[in-house]
Amino acid sequence: MNESWQSMLSDEQRRLFNAACGDLANQIVWHGNRLSKDDWRHLISGTVLGWRMLPAIDMGTGAAGFVMLGGSSLNLRKEECTEAITMAFHIGDDPSSQGLKSPPVRWCDVVRAARGITDADEELAARFAA
């Protein structure tokens, strides 16, 4: 069943989600793995849409292992994209919540504008950082 265009993610959500995933890719190492912007999009989208574990394709090079399939960020409905964006912000704002030893992400202008973060907010936060 195809979703109507009204329930699918908006261009604005898509741009914001891509920007947030780009910031995560540039600043966060996920449990020892450097992820690309696309990897972050897939990780978060798969988490929101639900994962399925399948046997990997046997290429004759040893144990095939397993792959996890989730879903494309293009398949997110508006509500799911909001959840994905919120998840990206949470990971970036508090990496320790996911067991990551990393400082909070310094968000790009696109993300800061969408969240209403100004330069004054950043300066104030820096003054009170431990």
CB 74 within 8 A of CB 42: no
C-alpha to C-alpha distance for 106 and 99, rounded to whole angstroms: 19
Read off the pLDDT of residues 18-72 as tens digits, 9 standing for 90 and up.
Answer: 999 999 999 999 999 999 999 999 999 999 999 888 888 878 888 778 888 888 8
- C-alpha span between 114 and 55 (Å, rounded): 40
Determine contact, residues 25/35, Cβ cutoff 8 Å: yes
| 6-15 confidence digits (pLDDT tens) | 455 788 898 9
Domains and CATH numbers, the chain: 10-128 (1.10.3790.10)
Q: Where are the beta strands (DSSP E) in 21-91?
A: 29-30, 33-34, 52-55, 66-69
Q: What is the pLDDT of residues 73-119, one digit of tens each?
A: 888 888 999 999 999 999 999 999 999 999 999 999 999 999 988 88
Contact indicator for 40, 88 with CB cutoff of 8 Å: yes
